[in-house]
Homo-oligomer: A and B are copies of this chain.
Amino acid sequence: MQALSLSPPLLTSPPRSLRSKSSNTFRAPRMDRHARISSQFPPLLHRDLALEVASLMESRLGSDLLPSSVPDNVRSFQNQSGTSFGSLDIRYGAPGSSVDFLLESWLHCKVPTGAIDITTLLVYQNDSTDAPHFNLEFIQAGPTSLVLLLDLIPRRDLSFCPDYIDTFYQDTNVDKPRQDLEKLPQAVPYRSPSLYIRSIWSPTAILVSINCGEGGATKMEEIIKGTVASAAKEVLGIWLERCFGTGTGTEMGEEEREYMIRRDRVVKSKSIEIDLSANLPRLFDPDVANRVIAEIQKACARLKSSMP
């Protein structure tokens, strides 16, 4: 496997409102990511949107992010037969940022029924705030079928913290894009087979499976460019405005903060165990899978070292 050349240092302009952005501002990182991902992966319906969201996110986070932390053979990997390949990038938050790390992963895997493509964009926050994490995941199995998992993942026990719901989910009107998506006749709710994964989402989580049926590729493209793109940008905008940055959280005592740290740790480690540790070794050779999982585990465990 040819190791890809690393990207030039990413734009580190000061954070600015998503709405006041000039598209030129983002050209450098966007073109870099575009070129890298497009050269490595086959064309995909959700590709352009995922690239756009990743670039918007990274540009807005700017100097809050340290450079990529992963080695070349994780930033680009494949199985022996070359039928499955992937890219994982992790960028830790800079000192003083509310970001713990940004994870971006692209997977293309041959499966008996064709191919499955999974794109994930995750921002975990650290304990300087209790504001939600950001999660965007596309799972595409063919040109007419897409699963979308889009949420501001809560960090408090919601049944116990009604104010938290008001602050991040009610007052932000983040349920609106969910309603729009679930109105699509092609969308049905998506349920994770894992009861644990079902339990981590917020009450406004967008968890839908969109199926356009045979010959529905054009319709799917229209839906992705329309309702799905609007939802992704809307939820990202809310996260950037209301969740990202120190001072965004609700008030917490020391005990509550410690509980949140322990809770975050369980959510991260269980999510990896259920999602990646169970699936990556089936899709890639064990040494590749282990190498990739190790990088994610390292990022998730990092908070531990700052604990007493």
Q: How far is the CA of A171 from the CA of B199 in the complex (A)?
A: 16
Q: How far is the CA of A175 from the CA of B204 in the complex (A)?
A: 21
Taking a contact as CB atoms under 8 Å apart, the answer to whether A169 and B157 are in contact is: no
What count of chain A residues pass the 8 Å CB interface test? Answer: 25
Taking a contact as CB atoms under 8 Å apart, the answer to whether A199 and B159 are in contact is: yes
Q: How far is the CA of A64 from the CA of B159 in the complex (A)?
A: 28
Tell me which of A19-27, A47-55, A75-83, A262-270 binds B.
Answer: A262-270
Output the residue of A175, A199, A202, A263 with the most chain B CB within 10 A: A199
A165 interface residue (CB < 8 Å to B): yes
Taking a contact as CB atoms under 8 Å apart, the answer to whether B200 and A262 are in contact is: no
A16 interface residue (CB < 8 Å to B): no
A6 interface residue (CB < 8 Å to B): no
Chain A 147-177 per-residue mask, 1 if CB under 8 angstroms from chain B, else 0: 0000000100111101001000110000100
Residues of B near A175 (CB, < 8 A) are 195
Residues of B near A159 (CB, < 8 A) are 154, 157, 196, 199-200, 263, 266-267
Find A157's partner among B157, B162, B165, B202 (CB 8 Å cutoff): B157
Find A162's partner among B189, B203, B204, B266 (CB 8 Å cutoff): B266
Q: How far is the CA of A101 from the CA of B83 in the complex (A)?
A: 59
A198 interface residue (CB < 8 Å to B): yes
Taking a contact as CB atoms under 8 Å apart, the answer to whether B266 and A199 are in contact is: no
Residues of B near A160 (CB, < 8 A) are 157, 259, 262-263, 266-267
Residues of B near A158 (CB, < 8 A) are 196, 199
Closest to A269 in B: B162
Residues of B near A270 (CB, < 8 A) are 162
Residues of B near A200 (CB, < 8 A) are 159
Given A189-B189, A266-B162, A270-B162: A170 and B195 interface contact (C-beta under 8 Å): yes
Could you tell me the distance in whole angstroms from the C-beta of A72 to the nearest C-beta in chain B? Answer: 35
Could you tell me the distance in whole angstroms from the C-beta of A244 to the nearest C-beta in chain B? Answer: 21
Closest to A259 in B: B160
- Given A162-B196, A170-B195, A199-B202, 11 other A-B residues pairs in contact with their CB atoms under 8 A: A154-B159, A157-B157, A157-B160, A159-B196, A160-B263, A162-B266, A165-B196, A165-B199, A175-B195, A195-B203, A196-B203
| Sample of 28 A–B contacts (CB below 8 Å) | A154-B159, A157-B157, A157-B159, A157-B160, A157-B263, A158-B196, A158-B199, A159-B196, A159-B199, A159-B200, A159-B263, A159-B266, A159-B267, A160-B259, A160-B262, A160-B263, A160-B266, A162-B196, A162-B266, A162-B270, A165-B195, A165-B199, A169-B195, A189-B189, A195-B204, A196-B203, A198-B203, A199-B203
Shortest beta-carbon contacts, A-B, top 10: A198-B203, A157-B157, A158-B199, A195-B203, A160-B263, A199-B203, A159-B200, A165-B195, A169-B195, A159-B267
